[in-house]
Amino acid sequence: MNNNLIEELIKALKKFPGVGEKSAWRYFFTLLNEEEGELEHFGDLLIRLKKEVKKCPSCGYLELGGRCEFCSDPYRDKSKIMVVSYIQDAMAIEKTGVYHGLYHVLDGVISSSKGTYPEDLNIDGLKKRLNEEVKEVIIATSPTIDGEMTAVYLDKILKKDGLLITRLAHGLPMGASLDYTDELTLIKAMDNRRKVDEENA
Amino acid sequence: MNNNLIEELIKALKKFPGVGEKSAWRYFFTLLNEEEGELEHFGDLLIRLKKEVKKCPSCGYLELGGRCEFCSDPYRDKSKIMVVSYIQDAMAIEKTGVYHGLYHVLDGVISSSKGTYPEDLNIDGLKKRLNEEVKEVIIATSPTIDGEMTAVYLDKILKKDGLLITRLAHGLPMGASLDYTDELTLIKAMDNRRKVDEENA
Protein backbone atom coordinates (compact mmCIF):
# COMPACT_ATOMS: atom_id res chain seq x y z
CA MET A 1 0.00 0.00 0.00
CA ASN A 2 1.20 3.45 -0.89
CA ASN A 3 0.90 5.65 2.16
CA ASN A 4 2.77 8.58 0.68
CA LEU A 5 -0.12 11.02 0.52
CA ILE A 6 -0.99 10.46 4.18
CA GLU A 7 2.63 10.66 5.31
CA GLU A 8 3.27 13.81 3.33
CA LEU A 9 0.13 15.46 4.68
CA ILE A 10 1.13 14.60 8.25
CA LYS A 11 4.56 16.11 7.52
CA ALA A 12 2.97 19.28 6.14
CA LEU A 13 0.66 19.62 9.17
CA LYS A 14 3.60 19.21 11.55
CA LYS A 15 5.08 22.43 10.17
CA PHE A 16 2.47 24.43 12.09
CA PRO A 17 3.97 25.78 15.31
CA GLY A 18 3.38 23.50 18.29
CA VAL A 19 1.90 20.70 16.19
CA GLY A 20 3.49 17.31 16.85
CA GLU A 21 2.69 13.81 15.65
CA LYS A 22 -0.50 13.48 17.72
CA SER A 23 -2.02 16.84 16.79
CA ALA A 24 -1.09 16.29 13.15
CA TRP A 25 -3.10 13.07 13.14
CA ARG A 26 -6.05 14.81 14.84
CA TYR A 27 -5.88 17.50 12.14
CA PHE A 28 -5.63 14.80 9.47
CA PHE A 29 -8.86 13.16 10.62
CA THR A 30 -10.55 16.54 10.82
CA LEU A 31 -9.60 17.06 7.18
CA LEU A 32 -10.70 13.56 6.22
CA ASN A 33 -14.15 14.27 7.66
CA GLU A 34 -14.52 17.50 5.68
CA GLU A 35 -16.56 17.67 2.49
CA GLU A 36 -14.47 17.21 -0.65
CA GLY A 37 -15.48 20.69 -1.87
CA GLU A 38 -14.27 22.29 1.37
CA LEU A 39 -10.90 20.58 1.06
CA GLU A 40 -10.53 21.69 -2.53
CA HIS A 41 -11.28 25.24 -1.45
CA PHE A 42 -8.73 25.03 1.38
CA GLY A 43 -6.13 23.59 -1.01
CA ASP A 44 -6.85 26.31 -3.53
CA LEU A 45 -6.39 29.02 -0.87
CA LEU A 46 -2.95 27.62 -0.02
CA ILE A 47 -1.94 27.52 -3.66
CA ARG A 48 -3.09 31.12 -4.18
CA LEU A 49 -1.65 32.47 -0.92
CA LYS A 50 1.84 33.42 -2.03
CA LYS A 51 0.62 34.58 -5.42
CA GLU A 52 -1.96 37.00 -4.06
CA VAL A 53 -0.83 38.04 -0.59
CA LYS A 54 2.23 40.25 -0.79
CA LYS A 55 3.95 42.65 1.53
CA CYS A 56 3.33 46.38 1.12
CA PRO A 57 6.36 47.87 -0.73
CA SER A 58 6.23 50.88 1.59
CA CYS A 59 5.75 49.48 5.11
CA GLY A 60 5.96 45.68 4.82
CA TYR A 61 2.41 45.03 6.07
CA LEU A 62 0.14 42.54 4.27
CA GLU A 63 -1.50 43.66 1.07
CA LEU A 64 -3.42 42.03 -1.77
CA GLY A 65 -2.48 44.34 -4.62
CA GLY A 66 -0.85 47.77 -4.42
CA ARG A 67 -0.15 49.39 -1.05
CA CYS A 68 -1.52 48.16 2.30
CA GLU A 69 -4.66 49.38 4.03
CA PHE A 70 -2.68 51.84 6.17
CA CYS A 71 -0.37 53.36 3.59
CA SER A 72 -3.25 53.78 1.14
CA ASP A 73 -5.63 55.32 3.72
CA PRO A 74 -5.74 59.15 3.37
CA TYR A 75 -7.14 59.47 6.91
CA ARG A 76 -4.17 57.89 8.72
CA ASP A 77 -1.84 60.31 10.52
CA LYS A 78 1.26 60.40 8.31
CA SER A 79 3.33 62.23 10.90
CA LYS A 80 3.76 59.07 12.99
CA ILE A 81 5.38 55.76 12.07
CA MET A 82 5.27 52.87 14.54
CA VAL A 83 8.10 50.41 13.97
CA VAL A 84 7.16 46.81 14.78
CA SER A 85 9.05 43.55 14.36
CA TYR A 86 6.25 41.52 12.79
CA ILE A 87 2.97 42.02 10.97
CA GLN A 88 1.17 40.39 13.91
CA ASP A 89 2.47 43.13 16.21
CA ALA A 90 0.88 45.81 14.03
CA MET A 91 -2.35 43.80 14.13
CA ALA A 92 -2.24 43.72 17.94
CA ILE A 93 -1.70 47.50 18.11
CA GLU A 94 -4.45 48.06 15.54
CA LYS A 95 -6.92 46.11 17.68
CA THR A 96 -6.58 48.69 20.47
CA GLY A 97 -8.18 51.21 18.12
CA VAL A 98 -6.27 54.16 19.58
CA TYR A 99 -3.37 54.44 17.14
CA HIS A 100 -4.04 56.20 13.85
CA GLY A 101 -0.56 56.64 12.42
CA LEU A 102 1.34 54.44 9.97
CA TYR A 103 3.38 51.29 10.60
CA HIS A 104 6.72 49.95 9.51
CA VAL A 105 7.39 46.22 9.72
CA LEU A 106 11.06 45.29 10.26
CA ASP A 107 10.39 41.60 9.69
CA GLY A 108 12.44 40.52 12.70
CA VAL A 109 14.76 41.85 15.37
CA ILE A 110 18.49 42.24 15.55
CA SER A 111 19.63 39.06 17.27
CA SER A 112 23.18 37.84 17.65
CA SER A 113 21.90 34.46 18.85
CA LYS A 114 19.76 33.97 15.74
CA GLY A 115 22.31 35.62 13.48
CA THR A 116 19.97 38.43 12.38
CA TYR A 117 21.82 41.65 11.63
CA PRO A 118 20.56 45.15 10.72
CA GLU A 119 21.03 44.45 7.01
CA ASP A 120 18.62 41.49 7.28
CA LEU A 121 15.82 43.78 8.43
CA ASN A 122 13.68 46.27 6.53
CA ILE A 123 15.61 49.25 7.93
CA ASP A 124 16.69 50.92 4.67
CA GLY A 125 13.03 51.10 3.73
CA LEU A 126 12.31 52.84 7.03
CA LYS A 127 15.08 55.41 6.51
CA LYS A 128 13.69 56.23 3.06
CA ARG A 129 10.26 56.93 4.55
CA LEU A 130 11.53 59.53 7.02
CA ASN A 131 10.68 62.64 5.02
CA GLU A 132 9.73 66.09 6.41
CA GLU A 133 6.17 64.95 7.06
CA VAL A 134 7.23 62.37 9.66
CA LYS A 135 7.51 63.91 13.14
CA GLU A 136 7.64 60.82 15.36
CA VAL A 137 8.97 57.26 15.12
CA ILE A 138 7.53 55.02 17.83
CA ILE A 139 9.72 51.98 18.35
CA ALA A 140 7.46 49.10 19.32
CA THR A 141 9.81 46.12 19.29
CA SER A 142 9.12 43.62 22.08
CA PRO A 143 10.65 44.25 25.53
CA THR A 144 13.12 41.38 25.15
CA ILE A 145 16.92 41.58 24.97
CA ASP A 146 16.83 41.43 21.15
CA GLY A 147 13.93 43.88 20.98
CA GLU A 148 15.74 46.33 23.25
CA MET A 149 18.93 46.03 21.24
CA THR A 150 17.02 46.71 18.05
CA ALA A 151 15.38 49.77 19.63
CA VAL A 152 18.72 51.18 20.76
CA TYR A 153 20.21 50.59 17.30
CA LEU A 154 17.29 52.27 15.52
CA ASP A 155 17.38 55.22 17.90
CA LYS A 156 21.05 55.71 17.12
CA ILE A 157 20.82 55.55 13.33
CA LEU A 158 17.52 57.43 12.91
CA LYS A 159 18.33 60.34 15.20
CA LYS A 160 18.00 63.72 13.46
CA ASP A 161 16.72 67.22 14.22
CA GLY A 162 12.98 67.60 14.23
CA LEU A 163 12.31 63.86 14.60
CA LEU A 164 11.02 62.54 17.91
CA ILE A 165 11.99 58.90 18.53
CA THR A 166 9.96 57.21 21.26
CA ARG A 167 9.61 53.72 22.69
CA LEU A 168 6.51 52.00 24.07
CA ALA A 169 6.47 52.30 27.87
CA HIS A 170 7.73 49.48 30.07
CA GLY A 171 6.05 48.76 33.36
CA LEU A 172 3.48 46.63 35.09
CA PRO A 173 0.91 45.08 32.76
CA MET A 174 -2.62 46.06 33.73
CA GLY A 175 -4.18 43.53 36.11
CA ALA A 176 -0.80 42.15 37.19
CA SER A 177 -0.09 41.23 40.78
CA LEU A 178 3.18 42.62 42.06
CA ASP A 179 4.34 39.40 43.65
CA TYR A 180 4.05 37.52 40.35
CA THR A 181 5.87 40.19 38.35
CA ASP A 182 9.46 39.50 37.33
CA GLU A 183 12.25 41.63 38.75
CA LEU A 184 13.22 43.35 35.50
CA THR A 185 9.65 44.56 34.98
CA LEU A 186 9.52 45.81 38.58
CA ILE A 187 12.79 47.69 38.11
CA LYS A 188 11.47 49.26 34.86
CA ALA A 189 8.19 50.13 36.59
CA MET A 190 10.08 51.89 39.40
CA ASP A 191 12.47 53.68 37.04
CA ASN A 192 9.61 54.91 34.88
CA ARG A 193 7.29 55.90 37.72
CA ARG A 194 5.13 58.96 37.11
CA LYS A 195 3.40 61.53 39.30
CA VAL A 196 -0.12 60.32 40.03
CA ASP A 197 -1.67 63.48 38.57
CA GLU A 198 0.29 62.99 35.33
CA GLU A 199 -0.77 59.36 34.99
CA ASN A 200 -4.06 60.03 33.21
CA ALA A 201 -3.00 63.29 31.60
CA MET B 1 -8.63 46.22 -0.21
CA ASN B 2 -9.93 42.70 -0.70
CA ASN B 3 -9.07 40.62 2.31
CA ASN B 4 -11.15 37.62 1.30
CA LEU B 5 -8.33 35.17 0.74
CA ILE B 6 -6.82 35.89 4.16
CA GLU B 7 -10.17 35.74 5.93
CA GLU B 8 -11.13 32.50 4.23
CA LEU B 9 -7.79 30.93 5.06
CA ILE B 10 -8.15 31.93 8.71
CA LYS B 11 -11.64 30.41 8.67
CA ALA B 12 -10.31 27.17 7.17
CA LEU B 13 -7.50 26.97 9.75
CA LYS B 14 -9.96 27.48 12.59
CA LYS B 15 -11.65 24.20 11.64
CA PHE B 16 -8.73 22.28 13.14
CA PRO B 17 -9.62 21.08 16.65
CA GLY B 18 -8.53 23.50 19.38
CA VAL B 19 -7.46 26.20 16.91
CA GLY B 20 -8.93 29.61 17.70
CA GLU B 21 -8.36 33.05 16.23
CA LYS B 22 -4.88 33.46 17.69
CA SER B 23 -3.51 30.07 16.64
CA ALA B 24 -5.07 30.44 13.20
CA TRP B 25 -3.11 33.66 12.69
CA ARG B 26 0.08 32.00 13.91
CA TYR B 27 -0.54 29.19 11.40
CA PHE B 28 -1.28 31.77 8.71
CA PHE B 29 2.09 33.45 9.18
CA THR B 30 3.82 30.08 9.22
CA LEU B 31 2.23 29.40 5.84
CA LEU B 32 3.13 32.85 4.54
CA ASN B 33 6.78 32.21 5.36
CA GLU B 34 6.81 28.89 3.49
CA GLU B 35 8.25 28.56 -0.01
CA GLU B 36 5.62 28.89 -2.71
CA GLY B 37 6.39 25.37 -3.94
CA GLU B 38 5.79 23.91 -0.48
CA LEU B 39 2.42 25.63 -0.25
CA GLU B 40 1.42 24.35 -3.67
CA HIS B 41 2.36 20.84 -2.59
CA PHE B 42 0.36 21.17 0.64
CA GLY B 43 -2.63 22.54 -1.28
CA ASP B 44 -2.37 19.71 -3.79
CA LEU B 45 -2.33 17.11 -0.98
CA LEU B 46 -5.56 18.57 0.42
CA ILE B 47 -7.22 18.52 -2.98
CA ARG B 48 -6.19 14.88 -3.55
CA LEU B 49 -6.99 13.68 -0.02
CA LYS B 50 -10.64 12.71 -0.44
CA LYS B 51 -10.04 11.38 -3.94
CA GLU B 52 -7.25 9.02 -2.96
CA VAL B 53 -7.75 8.14 0.69
CA LYS B 54 -10.81 5.95 1.14
CA LYS B 55 -12.09 3.67 3.85
CA CYS B 56 -11.56 -0.10 3.49
CA PRO B 57 -14.86 -1.62 2.31
CA SER B 58 -14.34 -4.52 4.70
CA CYS B 59 -13.20 -2.98 8.02
CA GLY B 60 -13.47 0.80 7.61
CA TYR B 61 -9.76 1.49 8.14
CA LEU B 62 -7.85 3.86 5.83
CA GLU B 63 -6.82 2.58 2.44
CA LEU B 64 -5.41 4.06 -0.74
CA GLY B 65 -6.86 1.64 -3.29
CA GLY B 66 -8.46 -1.76 -2.62
CA ARG B 67 -8.52 -3.21 0.88
CA CYS B 68 -6.58 -1.87 3.86
CA GLU B 69 -3.17 -3.02 5.04
CA PHE B 70 -4.72 -5.36 7.63
CA CYS B 71 -7.47 -6.98 5.57
CA SER B 72 -5.07 -7.53 2.67
CA ASP B 73 -2.28 -8.97 4.83
CA PRO B 74 -2.22 -12.81 4.65
CA TYR B 75 -0.23 -12.97 7.90
CA ARG B 76 -2.82 -11.30 10.16
CA ASP B 77 -4.76 -13.61 12.45
CA LYS B 78 -8.22 -13.77 10.86
CA SER B 79 -9.77 -15.47 13.87
CA LYS B 80 -9.80 -12.21 15.84
CA ILE B 81 -11.57 -8.93 15.07
CA MET B 82 -11.01 -5.95 17.34
CA VAL B 83 -13.91 -3.49 17.19
CA VAL B 84 -12.85 0.15 17.63
CA SER B 85 -14.78 3.39 17.42
CA TYR B 86 -12.32 5.32 15.27
CA ILE B 87 -9.41 4.71 12.91
CA GLN B 88 -7.13 6.47 15.40
CA ASP B 89 -7.98 3.84 18.03
CA ALA B 90 -6.80 1.05 15.72
CA MET B 91 -3.60 3.04 15.13
CA ALA B 92 -3.03 3.29 18.89
CA ILE B 93 -3.52 -0.46 19.34
CA GLU B 94 -1.28 -1.16 16.34
CA LYS B 95 1.54 0.87 17.89
CA THR B 96 1.70 -1.58 20.82
CA GLY B 97 2.85 -4.21 18.31
CA VAL B 98 1.24 -7.09 20.25
CA TYR B 99 -2.06 -7.47 18.39
CA HIS B 100 -1.99 -9.38 15.14
CA GLY B 101 -5.69 -9.84 14.39
CA LEU B 102 -7.99 -7.75 12.22
CA TYR B 103 -9.88 -4.57 13.06
CA HIS B 104 -13.35 -3.25 12.52
CA VAL B 105 -13.98 0.49 12.68
CA LEU B 106 -17.49 1.45 13.84
CA ASP B 107 -16.96 5.11 12.97
CA GLY B 108 -18.42 6.36 16.25
CA VAL B 109 -20.21 5.17 19.37
CA ILE B 110 -23.85 4.80 20.23
CA SER B 111 -24.67 8.07 21.99
CA SER B 112 -28.10 9.30 22.95
CA SER B 113 -26.64 12.74 23.74
CA LYS B 114 -25.10 13.08 20.27
CA GLY B 115 -28.04 11.33 18.57
CA THR B 116 -25.91 8.49 17.22
CA TYR B 117 -27.86 5.22 16.96
CA PRO B 118 -26.74 1.69 16.01
CA GLU B 119 -27.90 2.21 12.41
CA ASP B 120 -25.50 5.18 12.11
CA LEU B 121 -22.52 2.92 12.82
CA ASN B 122 -20.76 0.33 10.69
CA ILE B 123 -22.40 -2.57 12.57
CA ASP B 124 -24.05 -4.38 9.65
CA GLY B 125 -20.63 -4.62 8.05
CA LEU B 126 -19.32 -6.21 11.24
CA LYS B 127 -22.13 -8.79 11.35
CA LYS B 128 -21.40 -9.79 7.76
CA ARG B 129 -17.75 -10.43 8.62
CA LEU B 130 -18.53 -12.91 11.41
CA ASN B 131 -18.07 -16.12 9.43
CA GLU B 132 -16.88 -19.48 10.80
CA GLU B 133 -13.27 -18.35 10.73
CA VAL B 134 -13.83 -15.63 13.36
CA LYS B 135 -13.47 -17.01 16.89
CA GLU B 136 -13.20 -13.83 18.96
CA VAL B 137 -14.55 -10.29 18.80
CA ILE B 138 -12.64 -7.93 21.09
CA ILE B 139 -14.69 -4.84 21.86
CA ALA B 140 -12.30 -1.94 22.25
CA THR B 141 -14.63 1.04 22.51
CA SER B 142 -13.45 3.67 25.01
CA PRO B 143 -14.32 3.22 28.70
CA THR B 144 -16.84 6.09 28.64
CA ILE B 145 -20.60 5.90 29.17
CA ASP B 146 -21.21 5.87 25.40
CA GLY B 147 -18.39 3.40 24.82
CA GLU B 148 -19.74 1.07 27.49
CA MET B 149 -23.25 1.29 26.10
CA THR B 150 -21.93 0.46 22.64
CA ALA B 151 -20.03 -2.53 24.04
CA VAL B 152 -23.11 -3.88 25.84
CA TYR B 153 -25.21 -3.43 22.69
CA LEU B 154 -22.66 -5.21 20.48
CA ASP B 155 -22.31 -8.06 22.98
CA LYS B 156 -26.08 -8.56 22.90
CA ILE B 157 -26.53 -8.58 19.13
CA LEU B 158 -23.36 -10.48 18.20
CA LYS B 159 -23.73 -13.29 20.73
CA LYS B 160 -23.72 -16.72 19.10
CA ASP B 161 -22.33 -20.18 19.78
CA GLY B 162 -18.64 -20.60 19.13
CA LEU B 163 -17.92 -16.86 19.20
CA LEU B 164 -16.05 -15.39 22.15
CA ILE B 165 -16.88 -11.73 22.78
CA THR B 166 -14.39 -9.94 25.02
CA ARG B 167 -13.79 -6.39 26.19
CA LEU B 168 -10.48 -4.61 26.90
CA ALA B 169 -9.74 -4.71 30.64
CA HIS B 170 -10.57 -1.77 32.88
CA GLY B 171 -8.30 -0.87 35.76
CA LEU B 172 -5.45 1.33 36.85
CA PRO B 173 -3.39 2.75 34.00
CA MET B 174 0.29 1.80 34.35
CA GLY B 175 2.24 4.43 36.27
CA ALA B 176 -0.88 5.91 37.86
CA SER B 177 -0.89 7.02 41.48
CA LEU B 178 -3.85 5.73 43.43
CA ASP B 179 -4.71 9.05 45.03
CA TYR B 180 -5.06 10.72 41.61
CA THR B 181 -7.20 7.95 40.14
CA ASP B 182 -10.94 8.62 39.77
CA GLU B 183 -13.41 6.58 41.83
CA LEU B 184 -14.96 4.68 38.92
CA THR B 185 -11.56 3.43 37.80
CA LEU B 186 -10.72 2.38 41.37
CA ILE B 187 -14.03 0.48 41.62
CA LYS B 188 -13.32 -1.26 38.28
CA ALA B 189 -9.77 -2.06 39.41
CA MET B 190 -11.07 -3.64 42.63
CA ASP B 191 -13.86 -5.57 40.84
CA ASN B 192 -11.44 -6.91 38.23
CA ARG B 193 -8.63 -7.75 40.65
CA ARG B 194 -6.60 -10.84 39.80
CA LYS B 195 -4.47 -13.26 41.76
CA VAL B 196 -0.87 -12.02 41.70
CA ASP B 197 0.40 -15.26 40.16
CA GLU B 198 -2.15 -14.94 37.33
CA GLU B 199 -1.20 -11.33 36.62
CA ASN B 200 1.66 -12.12 34.25
CA ALA B 201 0.33 -15.44 33.05
Question: What is d(CA B18, CA B25) in angstroms, rounded to the nearest whole number?
Answer: 13
* % of chain B beyond a pLDDT of 70: 96
Q: How confident is the model at residue A1 (pLDDT cuts 50, 70, 90)?
A: very low
Across the interface, do A64 and B3 touch by the CB < 8 Å criterion?
yes
Report yes or no: A37 at the B interface, CB cutoff 8 Å: no
Q: Closest Cα of chain B to A28: distance in Å?
A: 9
Chain B positions in Cβ-Cβ contact with residue A88 (cut-off 8 Å): 25-26, 29
ipTM: 0.78
Nearest CA in chain B to A54: B32
Question: What is d(CA A199, CA B167) in angstroms, rounded to the nearest whole number?
Answer: 68
Q: How confident is the model at residue A129 (pLDDT cuts 50, 70, 90)?
A: very high
pLDDT of residue A13: 97
pLDDT of residue A64: 77
Of A200 and B154, which is predicted with more confidence? B154
Reference B108, options B85, B139, B124, B140; nearest CA is B85
Question: What is d(CA B101, CA B82) in angstroms, rounded to the nearest whole number?
Answer: 7
Q: Closest Cα of chain B to A105: distance in Å?
A: 14
Nearest CA in chain A to B24: A16
CB of A8 closer than 8 Å to CB of B48: no
Averaged pLDDT for residues A21-28: 94
pLDDT of residue B200: 58
Across the interface, do A43 and B44 touch by the CB < 8 Å criterion?
yes
Of A201 and A37, which is predicted with more confidence? A37
pLDDT of residue B9: 95
Instruction: Quote the pTM value.
Output: 0.77
Mean residue pLDDT of chain A comes to 90
Q: What are the CA-CA distances from residue B2 to residues A64, A67, B7, B32 (Å)?
A: 7, 12, 10, 17
Question: Could you report the per-residue pLDDT of B43-55, keeping only the tens digit for each?
Answer: 999 999 988 998 9
Averaged pLDDT for residues B149-175: 90
The structural domains of chain B, ordered by start, are: 3-52 (1.10.8.420), 66-199 (3.40.1360.10)
Question: Could you report the per-residue pLDDT of A168-201, keeping only the tens digit for each?
Answer: 888 888 888 888 888 888 888 888 887 776 665 5
Nearest CA in chain A to B23: A17
Q: Closest Cα of chain B to A7: distance in Å?
A: 10
Q: Closest Cα of chain B to A1: distance in Å?
A: 7
Q: How confident is the model at residue B2 (pLDDT cuts 50, 70, 90)?
A: very low
Residues 88-147 of A with CB under 8 A from B: 88, 91
pLDDT of residue A71: 93
Question: Could you report the per-residue pLDDT of B111-128, keeping only the tens digit for each?
Answer: 999 999 999 999 999 999
* Count of other CB atoms within 10 angstroms of residue B28: 21
